[in-house]
Every structure is written in structure tokens, then in C-alpha cells.
Structure 1
Amino acid sequence: MLMRQPSPTLQFAYSPPFGASLNAGGVQFSVFSRSATEMRLLLYNKVSDREPTKVIDFNRETDRWGDVWSLTVPGLEAGQLYHYQASGPWDPEHGHRFDSTARLIDPYAEALAGEFQKSTDGIIRPPKCVVVEDDFDWEGDRHVRHDISESVIYEMHVKGFTKSRTAKVDAGGSYLGVIEKIPYLKSLGVTAVELMPINEFPIKDIYGKKIERANYWGYDSMAFFSPHRGYAHDKTPGAQVNEFKSMVKALHAAGIEVILDVVFNHTCEGNEQGPTLSFKGLENQVYYILSEGQHYCNYSGCGNTINGNHPVVREMIFHCLRHWVHNYHIDGFRFDLASILSRDRNGDLIPNPPMVELIAEDPLLADTKIIAEAWDAAGAYQVGSFGNHRWAEWNGRYRDDVRGFWRGDSGTLGALATRLAGSSDLYEHDGRPPFCSINFITSHDGFTMNDLVSYKDKHNLANGEEGRDGDNHNISDNYGVEGPTRKKGINTIRLRQIKNMLSTLMLSQGVPMLVMGDEVRKTQKGNNNAYCQDNELSYFDWRLVEKNKGLLRFVQTLIQFRRDQPTVRRKTYLTGQPVDGRTIPDVSWYSPNGRPLDWGQQDLAMVAYIAAPAKVDDLEGLGRDMVLMFNSTGQDREFHLPEIGRGMRWNLFLDTAADSPNDIYPDVDGPMPPGGREITMGCHSMRVFVAQGE
């Protein structure tokens, strides 16, 4: 392991053994290729150069060490532009796709510059690699280290967050634009932002033309070690490195962690018909999972699949994760289609996959959060069984069960209770705690929260795929009219349902994830797969902050309550038994009439009494008992406070059927329940009472 020496501006940095490294004599270039017969380094003076200004051949006798080609070029400095070029066998039937004319992106490149250039000779000229100098002044910045059990995650798109003119920022759509909006994130109360992919991906097509339906989301990786140049405000080669670091430092100063969505499951090189840009031209049969030695296995749904459990690729992924953690101070990762990391070199799912275990056990990643999207595009679904206690998971079961309950689907009462209590059915069996469940109701992939209650069907024609793309199983409803309406009754129910689902999310055991804009009713007009919508449809419309300020206040209060109340973020499961020295169960379930709940009945109404833990981290009296009332039926209902809470003094915390500001009480000082303890609950609504503190 090679470590750079500490400097006044860098407390600790990590140097992978490959890529372009500055040293006293110039720049050392190192690249892996087992099967190449020749290797060349192409150097450029300017981003606009179509041809290299200098070509340097690696000497097989002096510049090859095992399967690593390495040489030092004296006199080069930071900012130098380069590609690799490799000669070797063209033998697709045996996995070799060498092309001696291809200009290749360094797999370990720390920055790219420029675009694909227009071609008249059939040669693809990809963005150029940039030699980067790590001279950023972190000013003592360290990882924030929020306990994951106390986290509230905000999934967001760097460009989409501030690209709209309504954002009114100087550097819209950039890393610096995010900095300008940190006060909003702080006011919202989230503890972490989960950034949709910021690794390099194509902006134009391989021949320099505008892509008709570009991959706006960024799930089309081109260089795993490089922050995306398209999100830099300054277009100088390599400027994205310092701008990204500035964003991380500013978020940390606000107490907000940065989690990256990483795509170690496929690349933008595609299948047999795809271009040779990097991995294909260096060691195709190592970097990709191949069938019959030549065909690309497509477990990602994107044309190819990264061979994550090959030792060479596994090493690259480790170096990449360490690079982001120690050179960019990243606090965690969400692994896209993580089940692919459970597949061996033949594509078969294997128990105890080494890649998954090693990520969890790597000492240089010990401070980071690791989150799996525990499925892939080839049928693997590992929610509840991915990795060990270090791994958290996007809980797709939570999403579906909460949506189904609030839509009014029969038989979902028990499922809602299980999800509210932390999904012990998924995680307790192998000793994983509730915070292994990342609870979400919406994500970038699917309807927004507003559209979930406004559309029964997807409306994706703008994507140019004749409506074939996007999930058909949305568990959504429009409550009478498809899309926007002026009907007051429908709009009232829609707003209630949004508040119902957000309340459930923030008051469930586990870790909540909120999606950018859901707190102010962002809409994609029914598009549930806006991957290619690099326009106002995807951007955050900042006018909604004022238009829906009542809902924003509701969400801010929910988040603050969650952060204040250990009752809703326990580190152990609710058992239905007395614990923590209390004489009452930690959770009790009741029918609206106050009697113990009959789980076999088909009603969609219930009461949950959640008792506060007696101690949290050896401190007494921090938590408050809570009564949660759920009415997912279409009728107003009479509810009773359970007898277990008699003798205690209660205040209303929230009522989703009430109008703002009486729908939530930031100081938990809402009206006390009526003396008869009978409460009329509106249809499609939720109420929460909180016991008064001592």
C-alpha cells in the first residue's frame, strides 16, 4: 500500500498503485494489461487536440513488471492530458478485443477533460485523462461520523438540485451550486445527502454528437475515480476535483455527510456492438463477465456486467472506494444493483461472496456507511440477506408495503406494522439491527411522492420509447382524476396521503431516505423513469418551496422530531415485551376500539402504542411514549386511546387531516385528547399523540 506523505493541506491521502502519479521527476504512468503485446502513452497539449503531440512506447523489457506497464516521463506536471493505446490479439471468441488505433481512458484516471470529438476516420476520440495534483486545503475537515441509526438521508441529483433558473444561484447545476443551497438542506434537517452518480459518464455520443436522450441520471460509468466534469462550474481541465472537494467540505461544515451512489456493475462500453473506450481495449476478458468467452452477460440491463469478483477488478474497486473516502472525505456509498457483486466470474450467485465481505471488513472503509441496492436486473433479489451487519439495504419491501397500506390494499395491515417496527422479518434472523433497513417510499427510480398520489399509470412518452420503459407496478392511485385537477376533494386526499406516507417514513424504526423535492411536491408529470430528462421535468423547481411551504414545514418538523426522539430510532427491534426496565411492552397493537388487534381481520385501521426506552446511552428520560393512529379506510372512524396510556398526559403531535399549521406541532404541544378519550379520525389520515415529558 502506497501512502502519500502528509502535508499542511492534506492530513491523509491514499495513492492507488495505478494511474498517473506526480513525483519529483515528472509523472509515473501505470496500467494493467495481461494480454497486450504493446502499450503506448499518448500525450496532448490541449483539450482540443485531435492527435497526440507526443507518443511514448512502453518498453516490454524495462517498462513491464508482471502484468503492469509502468514508466515515468520527466518534466510533466499536473494538468497533463493523456490516453493509453494498446496492441494485442483481436480474438472475440476468446474474449480479446484489442484495437491498436483506439484511444483508451485510464481506468484509474482521476479526472477527464473535454468531450468525445467528432470523427471522420472512424476513430473514437474520448475525453482526455488529466494528471491531478492533490493540493486541496481541507482546513482540518474530517468525516462527520453520524451514527447510521440517527441518519436521515436525502437522495439528490447534483445538477438537478440547482440547474433550474428558479434556484437563483450563481453556479446553477454544479458542485458550487449545491454549496449555495446548503442553508436549505440544513433547514430541512437531513444528516446526509446521497448523491446520484458523480463518477464520469458520457455527455455526448462517441462521435461527438449530442445524445438525443442522454443519460441524465449518470448510471453509465466511464471512469470510476473521476468526478463528473459536467458538474463543474469552471471548465478548466481538472477543476472539477477541487470544486467537488469544496462541496464536500462545505457540507461537512454544516454537519451533513456525503454518500455516493456508485455503479460497479456495468460501464458505458456496452455489449459486442459497443465502443472500445477503456476496459475493453486493455483486458476485456478480465473486466467483464463473458458467456462462451465472447458474449457479454447482461445482469445489469445495460449491455455488460463488471466482473466484480475477479481479483484484478476487485482490487480496482477497493482502490476506488479508498480513493473517494480518503482523498475526497466521502462518508459512505450506495451500491447500485449490488447483487451483481454477489456473482462469480461465471455470473452465478454465490454464498458469502468475497467482494461483499471484503468491503465490509476493509479497515480503510471502517468509518463509512455501506448501503446495497440488494437486487439486479437479472432476477436476483437479496433484500434481507445481503452481507453482514455492516451492510444496510434499500428496503424495497418497505416501499411496497407502505404504498399498499395507504392506497387501501386489503391484507396490508400486518405488513405495515412489520415495516413500522423495523422489518425484523428481513434482518433479525442473522443478527442485523433495524438500522440495516434503509426505509424509502420513493427514489429517483419511479414516481415522485406527488405523482404517486396523482397518477395510476406511468406517462413516459417523452422518453421516446413508446411507453415501454419504466415499471408498471407502481402501487399508486390518482383518487379520481389522472394528473393535475382543480377538484378540491381530490387535492385534499392527495395532500393527506403525502403527509401520511412521509409521517410513516419518519416515524418507522430503521433509517429514512427522502428524495429531492418530495418535501415540496416535486412532479415529473407522471414520468416514472426520467433517466433521460435533462430538463425542467427533472430539475428542482424552487418556486415550490414557497408554494408548498406548509408541507415543507410539516417535513422539517417530522425530521427534527425524529432526531430528538430515540423512541423512533432504536438500535434493537420492538418485541412486544417489556424491556429497558419498563413494565409495559415496547410496542402494543390495538384496534380502533381500543381492544387488542385481531391480525386476521381485514380492517385497515389500527393503533400502535410505542413505549420509550428507559435509557439511551446510559441517559434516562430522553424518549417519549407515543400513540400512532392509522386510518387507511375511505370513511371517518372513531378511535380510542388505549387503556395502557391511561393516567398519562398526552399532546397531539400531528394530524394529517388538519390544515397547516394545525397539522403538526413543532413543540409537541398540540391539543390534548378529549376527556372521553374518543377521537374522530378523518378518512385516509394519521394522528400521533406524544406523552408529556417530566
Structure 2
Amino acid sequence: MLMRHPHPELQFAYKLPYGAVVTDRGVQFVVFSRSATAMRVLLYDKVDDREPNEIIEFDRDTDRWGDVWSAFVPGIGAGQLYHFQANGPYDPESGQWFDGNARLIDPFAKALAGCFQKSTDGIIRPPKCVVVDDHFDWEGDRHLRRPLSDTVIYETHVRGFTQSKSSRVKHSGTYLGLIEKLPYLQDLGVTAVELMPIHEFPILDIHGNQLERPNYWGYDPMAFFAPHRGYAHSKVPGAQVNEFKQMVKACHQAGIEVILDVVFNHTCEGNEHGPVLSFKGLENQVYYILNSGGGHYSNYSGCGNTFNGNHPISRELIFHCLRHWVHNYHIDGFRFDLASILSRDRYGNLMPNPPMVEMIAEDPMLADTKIIAEAWDAAGAYQVGSFGDLRWAEWNGRYRDDARRYWRGDEGLIGPMATRLAGSSDLYEHAGRAPYCSINFITSHDGFTLNDLVSYKDKHNQANGEEGRDGDNNNCSDNYGVEGPTRRKPLDRLRLRQLKNMMSTLLLSQGVPMIVMGDEVRRTQKGNNNAYCQDNDISWFDWKLVKKNEELFNFVRGLIKIRKHQPTLRRTRFLTGRPFDSRGVADVNWFSHLGLPFNWENPSGGLVCWLPAPAPADDPDGVGRDLLLLFNNTPETLQFNLPEQIRGIRWSQMIDTNGAAQADIFPEFDGPAAPANRRVELIYRSMQAFVADMPN
């Protein structure tokens, strides 16, 4: 038998057919444009050069193949700086925006360098493209391929995670800085980081042709294939490519997957009042959804334009982009921002079976990746529960709203909260989907932090400079009597209890939990629920909070440990409420706080959920245990009578959100035994959980 010994450096790489293709003798520049009448590549020696040192004109007869322009330039290689430039029809009323003076970013650029240069002649000079060699020593690195059902996601911002001086890292605000904080994430126990946009975007927001307030979040893409230069430590052009790969490799070595938040719904070029930077100046009518006359941009993204993702050319670009990140950067998955736009055809109409959504799910080169949809857009499409098939998971916005309102004490939320706790079968059971199709979250980057959710009734966005008009007004939050920070210890303990309640609910629910950076240590944005432009301590992770709020950190760490070791909480099939084991016990059982079967016709009071251990087929290691969850979201203290049906089981306390530090969670299942009288008192707005002893 022939034995294979692959060299770790000679791993699979995905070659892009467009952009700057490096060869031994030079660089092949390849770009699509159907309507251009002339094409040029501008070559620069230095990042700060305002004018090119050489201009290469494409020959229409020899360098154009169909709608593809391709020219070879000998004697140059990796590190070369360039722009494209195209002549063609300029007729904005019909959707043509060619400008023979514009410096254009290559849609397939693998890296950008520098910043926008101030203009004195009306010409916008965007960051320069960098020719990149894809070679990197991955040392045998592969995707971790962790099942989605076993995943705990941590949404974070590369810069904000370590930019504060309190981080005490050597490379603050960068990909390398995130590497330095991997021990923290390992200690917390999360299994994946979901990075807010890291593909290139303007460091300052673009309004018209002006660069204004900081673009901190990064949801304004400028180059889909390029990692953001602003998160690199080195200022050498293209250094971000290697540093980003170092970060991914280090994450994998730490057992942590990397999921990218990708924004294929719009670009930073804006509407007809925005700048010509890339797509507009190459084939505007193809890359954007325009109105019937072509003179105005359809705005399903809320950001001025809508990327025409279901046009064959744009669709091809998106697939090349996803494959590029998966195979050249070893990315483990994607979260698609405003993914419902991918369900719109070239005219903006929602399609019942959108080809783009199906093709992403079926692409064999993406088969190892996690794909997660933000299943709505800014034009009213709300597809939570109906986006794609089993391959697609979704941010479950219904979970967020129901969990917030339940713990706030709103009426009529017991039934919906029970459904969310059990995996949202009302949304995902159809079409063969599974509980892990639900990405459960209570907070995300967009909105209040968890601490602010229990500290503010109203948003406080004055610092954004939009006179408070921005940000959602429906936050389902409460301040419990004082707006903002408080020195009243009883009030602060109530808020902490609510934080523990919501974190417990999140980590004990069927589905996939997502935690937001800093929620585990009470990070605050001072009531700002739309901190997209706040590149300062409003948004940054304050590392002093780790010590200050050690009690909550230890609690969340314990919850994650319980989840990771209990298949009872990570079902891959929906609960049925029917008997399933040798005891004749149903796979989920609901009771009132009086210990009686819950009356769903008249839901009120406390709620008890008994989750028996999974069947051997779903628990091959035999580590699953029965769990008993007790919820009191009422404003009154309640006495819970444990149901008769569980009297033969020995129970130990696992969680008490009203418990003091070190008495609030027992991840080793060594908590005190349940009261002998089978009565448990739960203070208002609190929960407890018990775990069954292992059978002899």
C-alpha cells in the first residue's frame, strides 16, 4: 500500500480567477466590466503616493475576453500597490457611473493599504490595493469541525476586545492582541468567536463624499476579500494577511473556532450621492439593485444601496469570497448580516426558493462550515424560522424578545418562554430542521449590553450625534427604579440576579447560545444602544471589570461548563413531551410551582421544567443527567413544591441565581441536596436548577 505523508505547508488553497494573480514572472490583473470602453491598472511605489508611477493600459483587442479584462505585467510581485481605472458611459439616470479619473479598488483585492487621501482636485483617492502571495505555514492546521449543537459563541470586536489600556496586551486593538487574550476565552469556556466585520471598511464613515464619524462596527464593506488593515499591528502593506492567519491558527490551537460576520447586503459606496470607489465605477448596473429607471438605488439594507447578490456575476463573487475565507484563511463559519437580502431577486422581490441561499448550503467547498443567517433586512422582510434548510442556522430574534420580556415580568410570556427554552420547535421543527438551527441570544452588538438591559429603560445615544433618533426604541428593558448606575446595594443585587437569570436561561436552553463580549463581566455602554460610531471606552472591553465582577464571570463560566458536559442541554432532535425511556417518562415535563402539571390554558405563577437524561442513542457516553429547572419571574416570592413524579430521584442544587458568590453555581454537581420536605423557596425574579445523582 502506498503511504501518503502530506507536507504541512502544502495544503489546499483556493485560487481566485480575478484580481491580482501572482506568477513566477509577474502579476496577471483580471477584472470584470461589461460596459467599460477602456481599462487601466495604476501602479504605485509607496502607500502615500498620490499619483501612480506607472499606468498600464489594457489592449481592447488582446486583453479583453468577453466581459473580462486581463493583462499581464512582468517584473512585479507580492507587495505591489495598485488601483484600477475604467472609462465608460456616465449616465447616472440610467445607472451608469463610469469615471475615467476615479481610482478604483479591485473587487477581488486581497489587501488594502493606507487611508483615503485628501482631495484638492475632486478625485477620491481610496486606500491602495496590495498584491498578495497566499503562502502561509499553517503547520497542519485544519477546521475544528465542532458540531453546531456543541457550540458556545462569543460575539466580539477585534479592536474593542483589547484596545483599552486595561487589557495590558502588547498588541492592543489588533489580531495579535486577540491572540494574547485567548487564555481568557479558554478559561471562560466558549468554543467559537464570532468576529464583527473584519473585511475592509472605511475607518471613518462616508457621508456623501465626506469622511466623518468613526466607523467602529465595520458594517460598511469596501473590499470583501481583504482583512481590515486597521486591525494589523505592522504597518507594512499586506501585513494584515499574515497577522489574521496567525490569529486563526492560534484560535484553533486553543480549541476555538472563528466565525466571520459578513456583509454581502450593501457596500460603502452608498446611493447616488455616494462616492465612486469600486463597484460603481466598474459595472454599477450589475452590482447593485436599482429602481426600474436605473437612476436610484433600492435600499433594502438601510445603508443607501443594496448589493445585487442574486445576479450571476455578484453571486459568483460571493462564492469565490466565501471559499477564499474558508480555504485560504481556515475560517470555520459565517454569520450573514441582513441575510434576507440574499432572498431577493435582481428586482428586489423576495423569492420562495432563492438560489443563493440554497447554493451556499449545498456548496461542497463550504461543507465543513457553519452558516448563520440574520434572517431579516431593513425593508420589512422577517424570515426567522423560515430561512433555508437544516444547513442554515438563524439568529433567533424571537428568543431575544421573549427572554427579555419574560424576565422583565411581562404578562403572557410563560408559554413563549417555555417554547424558547425547549428549542423553538414552533419555528424550526418544520422541513427537517433541528434545535441547533436556533442561535439563541439575549443581546448582540446591536442594542443594549446585558448590564444596560437591566439598568436603563431608555436609550441614551446622544454621543452618536444624531440627536437620539438612532437606535431601536423597543428594548424590552427595565431599570428597576433608577436610570443608570446605582449605589443602592439591594437594587444592584436585583440587577445582578436578573443578569444571572438571563444568562442561566440562555445557557440552559436547547439550541446554540451566543454571548456578547463583556456581558459576562457587566460591560456597559452607558445606555447607548447603537454604539456603531463609538471607538472609545463606551464600546471597548474594560478589563478591570473581570476582577470587579468576578462573581458574574465565575457564574457564567460555570454555566458554560455545565452545558458542555450535559448532553441533556444539547439535543439534536426536538423534545416531544412523549415517553421515551425505560421509565416511561416524557422527554420534557412541565409543572406549576405547586407541583402540578402546568395549566397552559391559564398560565401564571412559577414554572418547573423536568428534563430527563437523553436516551443512549443521543448520549453514547452515558453522562447525561436529569435536570430540574425552576423559574420565578413574578414580583413575589413563591414556594415551589417539587412534583410527585420526581420523588424517587435524589437531587442536588446546581444553580441559585439568588445565591451569594460561590453558592450560586455548582458546575461539579456538588451542591447541597434538595430540601427533604421537597419545598424550595424562590425569591421574586430568580431561578434555581437541580441535577439528579447518577444512577447506581
TM-score normalised by the chain length of structure 1? 0.98
Output the CA distance in 2 between the equivalents of 1:207 and 1:382. 30
Alignment correspondent of 1:40? 40
SS of structure 2 residue aligned to 1:129: strand
Deviation string, structure 1 residues 209-258 (Cα, Å, up to 9, x no partner): 99542110000000000000000000100000000000000000011000
Aligned counterparts of 1:177 and 1:647: Cα–Cα separation in 2: 52
Distance in structure 1 (CA, Å) of the matches to 2:596 and 2:19: 67
CA distance in 2, matches of 1:674, 1:435: 35
1:28 aligns with 2:59: no
Worse-matched range after superposition: 314-323 or 90-99 = 90-99
Q: 1:360 to 1:520 in 2, by over 3 A?
A: same
Q: What is residue 399 of structure 2 aligned with on the other side?
A: 398
Counterpart CA distance in 1 for 2:330 and 2:414 is 42
Deviations 1:533-581 (A, max 9, x none): 0001100000000001111000001001100000011001111111255
1:166 aligned partner, one-letter code = S
CA displacement, residues 131-182 of structure 1 (integer Å, 9 cap, x when unaligned)? 0011211000000111000000000000000000000000000000000000
Q: Which residues in structure 2 correspond to 1:513-528 (within 5 Å)?
A: 513-528=514-529
**2:66 maps to which residue?**
66
- Match in the other structure for 2:161: 161
- Is 1:675 the counterpart of 2:673 in the alignment? no
Give the CA deviation at 1:646.
1.0
The 1-side partners of 2:171 and 2:605 are apart by 48
Closer/same/farther in 2, CA of residues 596 and 670 from structure 1, 3 Å limit: same
Deviation readout 1:91-135 (Å, 9 max, x if unpaired):
122211100000000000000000001110010000000000112
C-alpha change, 1:344 and 1:239, in structure 2 (3 Å) is same
Structure 1 residues 490 and 546 mapped into 2: Cα distance closer, same or farther (>3 Å)? same
After TM superposition, the structure 1 = structure 2 runs for residues 471-620 of structure 1, keeping only pairs within 5 Å, are: 471-617=472-618, 619=620
Instruction: Work out whether 1:106 is the aligned partner of 2:106.
Output: yes
CA separation in 1, counterparts of 2:378 and 2:7?
A: 45
Task: Between 577-586 and 623-632, report the one with greater CA deviation.
Answer: 577-586
Structure 2 counterparts to residues 256-655 of structure 1, below 5 A: 256-291=256-291, 292-617=293-618, 619=620, 621-655=622-656
State the superposition RMSD in angstroms: 1.4
State the match for 2:55 in structure 1.
Answer: 55
Distance of 1:495 and 1:209 partners within structure 2:
46
Number of aligned residues: 689
3-state SS of paired residue (2:20) = strand
What is the alpha-carbon distance in structure 1 between the residues aligned to residue 206 and residue 658 of structure 2? 53
**Partner SS for 1:619:** coil
1:420–1:617 distance in 2 versus 1, CA, 3 Å? closer
**Secondary structure of the corresponding residue to residue 213 of structure 1:** strand
Partner AA of 1:107 in structure 2: P
Cα offset, 1:666, TM superposition: 2.1
Paired residues of 1:593 and 1:639 also in contact (CA < 8 A): yes
Runs of 4+ in 1 over 3 A off after TM superposition: 204-212
Describe how 1:122-271 pairs up with structure 2 within 5 A: 122-204=122-204, 211-271=211-271
SS in 2 for 1:494: helix
Cα distance change on mapping 1:117 and 1:37 into 2, 3 Å: same
| Kept in 2: contact 1:115–1:208 (CA 8 A) | no
Comparing 601-610 with 553-562, greater Cα deviation is found at 601-610
Partner of residue 3, structure 2: none
Contact 1:297/1:304 (CA < 8 Å) preserved in 2? yes
Q: Distance in 2 between matches of 1:209 and 1:234?
A: 29
Distance 1:208 1:112 in 2: 22
The unaligned stretches of length 5 or more in structure 1 are: 1-5
**Alignment CA distance shift 1:233-1:482 (3 Å):** same
Structure 2: runs of 5+ lacking an equivalent: 1-5
Partner of 1:639, secondary structure, is strand
Q: Secondary structure at the match of 1:9?
A: coil
Moved more, 229-238 or 598-607: 598-607
Quick one: distance in 2 between partners of 1:618 and 1:680?
32
1:684 maps to a residue whose letter is R
Report the counterpart of residue 3 of structure 1 in structure 2.
none
Per-residue CA distance 1:281-322 (angstroms, 9 max, x = gap):
000000000002121000000000000000000000000000
Contact 1:410 1:602 in 2 (8 A): no
Structure 1, 68-77 or 611-620: larger mean CA deviation:
611-620
8 Å Cα contact 1:608/1:627 also seen in 2 = yes
Alpha-carbon distance, 1:9 to partner: 2.1
CA distance in 1: counterparts of 2:619 and 2:428, whole angstroms: 26
Which residue of structure 2 aligns with residue 693 of structure 1?
Answer: 694
**Contact 1:10–1:138 (CA<8 Å) still a contact in 2?**
no
Q: Counterparts of 1:638 and 1:301 in 2: how far apart (Å)?
A: 49
Deviation, structure 1 residue 7: 7.3
* Structure 1 counterpart SS, 2:443: coil
Deviation at 1:619, TM superposition (A): 1.7
User: What amino acid does structure 2 have at the position aligned with 1:642?
Assistant: P
